[in-house]
Copies of this chain bind each other. A is one copy, B any other.
Amino acid sequence: MQIGVIGSGECYGDICDAAYRIGQLLAENGAVVINGGLGGVMEAVSRGAKSRGGTVIGIIPFKDKKPANRYCDYVIATDMGHARNMIIVHSSDALIAVGGGYGTVSEMAIALKEGKRVVAYRPAVKLDGLILAESPEEAVSLALEGFS
């Protein structure tokens, strides 16, 4: 099971903590974490997953693997800018959005268009079909529902 966790390249306080906790919970549930491989929410969820022995794949927009955060086990270098967002969506069985800005909105929208399960914790915008979660625990539980 590959679960995409999406959010901004910068994060603070609760959003960062939530991303970290989501990473831990996904790892504990045996889910592989797919993310954008950079900073902020991407780094926090990666760090959380690694703290519980999980596996993290970072799909980055650049052609060089180096800018990926150091918690990624594997790095996919796309050299495709925002189009890499679509690859994150297609590679994920379900997605969890943690806060997030415009990039996250683009990912949620395409994931919903593709009929994927998209759970959102504190989303910037509410799109039809989003499943809202009140806590990291609920987010992971809702994302994994139906896969067990």
A residues neighboring B (CB under 8 Å):
2, 32, 55, 57, 59, 63-65, 74-83, 86-87, 89-91, 93, 101-103, 105-107, 109-110, 112-114, 124-128
Contacts and interface: CB of A to CB of B under 8 A. Distances in A.
A78 B87 contact: yes
A47 B9 CA distance: 37
Nearest to A77: B90
A77 B83 contact: no
List 7 tightest A-B contacts by C-beta distance, closest first.
Answer: A102-B113, A83-B83, A79-B81, A77-B90, A105-B109, A106-B106, A102-B109
Contacts of A82: 79, 86, 89, 110, 113
A105 B85 CA distance: 14
A102 B91 contact: no
Contacts of A103: 109-110, 113
